[in-house]
Structure 1
Amino acid sequence: MSINIRRMDMNAEGFDQQLDQLLAWESVSDTKVNSIVDEVIARVRSEGDAALVEYTNRFDRTSASSMQDLELGQARLQQALDGLPADQREALEVAAQRVRDYHQRQKGESWQYTEADGTMLGQKITPMDRVGIYVPGGKAAYPSSVLMNAIPAHVAGVDEIIMVVPTPDGVLNELVLAAAALAGVNRVFTLGGAQAVAALAYGTQTVPRVDKIVGPGNIFVATAKRAVFGTVGIDMIAGPSEILVICDGQTDPDWIAMDLFSQAEHDEDAQSILICPDADYLDQVEASINKLLPTMERREIIEVSLENRAALIQVNDLEQAAELNNRIAPEHLELSVEDPEALLPSIRHAGAIFMGRYTAEALGDYCAGPNHVLPTSGTARFSSPLGVYDFQKRSSLIMFSHDGASETGKVASVLARGESLTAHARSAEYRIKD
């Protein structure tokens, strides 16, 4: 039985409305979710460790008696790393090194300059003191998420990295713990859900309060992150995973079908879109999808995702494809074309751009080097991938010489009096030379 994937034509009447319906995603939590999250946060704030233990036992079906049972020491992380099969350890180490090498190039440096009158201006770059990383542990475990969230923080110079990861039924994932050992994580708590976010944001007797929380999670985690934003920083409120492929019709259609599957298998709400000028090629990819789908381990999830949120879209040419990409602003963009560099200047909005037929998006998820924590739901219009810069703060440096304070003070005085802020004006005027 074949599945039906939405077919669209950018030049057809009503396309704009169809596109809006295709992209529509309501990430705002409903009243019930908000109510549950608010209660969890309030209890963690008032009861601390006791609330964490109770919620973890209830939601993750564990039998912890205290927070001691919910913290893993460095020795346990190292044990996980040492116990990995050789091929897994090597793959994890290569991935970690590639991620570290890439992010080293993002590290900001302090700078300053001195004006002719001796006035110094500049910027001081300072890492955050402590950050929390949330690693999913429900439907699947993601050691790659540990690397992508912790390594940039480590490169930035963050003093302490706290990791929380739910362990339903008390089952630990050795790859996740090994990744934590490689990535420089300082403390690990087997906590999840809104209660883990609340603990990181406000602190408890055992879990230290952090400056920023990063990492993906379910709707309760996303809602909790939104609720605590302002008390702590957050990376983003992430929606379902997305891939958009622009193809010139010359790539093996089986490859493109599998690239679309690679996002659809995340969950039923993930979105996979193919844009191509060649209608016959869209038919070929659809045939490949139906041929390959029965071979997929997560077939049911992929099928729901493709039927509900996927599309095969015909355009006039690659320039029109780029224009459509910029309207969609996808999380992942594959330029599966002969000359991706020629098309690149037309691409304005995308979280990550995978260039050329051989560059599968899956490489970026694990070991290419750039971060896989990316803006979703069209937020690539104004947001960037997670990076070292997310774990550094910038402070302005201002030091006036006597001459500089005198001359610039005259400017400040005029502007301050124009705003009727007399104290501002007089503060500057005191420093003006006679």
Structure 2
Amino acid sequence: MTFKVGLLGLGTVGTGTAEILLNPEGRYPLVQEVEIARVGVRSLDKPRSVPIPSELITTDLEAIATDPEIEIVVELIGGLEPARSLILKAIAAGKHVVTANKAVIARYGDEIYTAANRAGVYVMQEAAVGGGIPIIKPLKESLGANRIARVTGIVNGTTNYILTQMTQAGADFADVLAEAQKLGYAEADPTADVDGLDAADKIAILASLAFGGRIKREDIHCEGIRQVSAADISYADKLGFGIKLLAIAQQIQSEPEIALQVRVHPTLVPKDHPLASVNGAYNAILIEGEPIGQVMFFGPGAGSGPTASAVVSDILCIVGILKSCQTAGSLNPLLGCSHQEYHSVAPLSELVTRFYARFLCGDRPGVIGHLGTYFGQNDVSLESVVQIGFQGDLAEIVVVTHNVREGNFRQAIEKIKAESGDNISIASVLRVF
């Protein structure tokens, strides 16, 4: 028995997926039962590195999504449109869908999964988060018996590569970004990566799975790494930290309804923390729950091979279900999307965390005391205050707080800005994990 697949997109991941399906020897036996029936591309003239017969390639992507002979549609074109519309057309035509498109799932998951549940088909998304790291299925299946407390991830390889290079070379962000673009680690327009948007899409998906409810993408606080300087990395290192772009979802309330904090921002991570040693373009996701404790998933977060591996694993999962003769309308609850309610996401002002702040101050007596006064007036307790050195005539002072409410910390910062004049300027503020 052969199961026919339609590929939408033959770029980096599409090519990797086709290579696996066309070379099944030595792989799981189900791969041999998958046939590439049609492939949708934007241009017929582009040279291809995989031997797909020309008669199977078309620019009519909608025809693939609605082809009655195709059972599984694999969306790998990326972006919001026409990807969203094609996924919905495939679902309406009774097709199962596999996608690597985190942006579409994060923004339109409600619409897509509601349609899929009604049609009795699966939408599988293992490749949407973490590239080749298996994380979606473990959250749905292997970890399903746990009460998840927190999900923390380094889920964007580009920013992790940049921060790693800044750490190792002592270079500033702009210089490392330019080099990363030359080497192909960063896009010509790096906005989605360096501003944290890609990571926010991914943590929206992980939070939804971990806590059993849908997440509104617009509720996620999102900061990127543009403001991280070589000086901050150097000072963090001296204090025993590395700086990582973390995507975090944690439960802060269970009754009367689950409330979460979901956020993306650069963070000082203690050097002995498991995530601190994740360098280069690698990703890692740390799950904390009861009774399992901590478990971390680590591996390549992008690229043709790793992402294609996740795509094909979803295809084989659907093929296995079809071979077991499950009928439309009777979805396996461990693989489908059963939760319908939206979780409440708490405002960032309610977050309780530690902070790192770097100040440039006029070299005058009592300036450290003034900082302490501003923070104390807003219930911000300081763990350490260190004068690092000088930038010209300005003293450079680094402050690390105890756990404090973010709203209180921000009030203190605003008061410093408003009342200190030219005596104190704020060079950077980062959270501490």
Higher relative contact order (CA 8 A, sep 6+): 1
- Shorter-chain TM-score tier: under 0.3
State the TM-score, normalized to the length of structure 1. 0.26
Query: Which structure dedicates a bigger proportion of its chain to strand?
Result: 2
Which structure has the larger Rg? 1
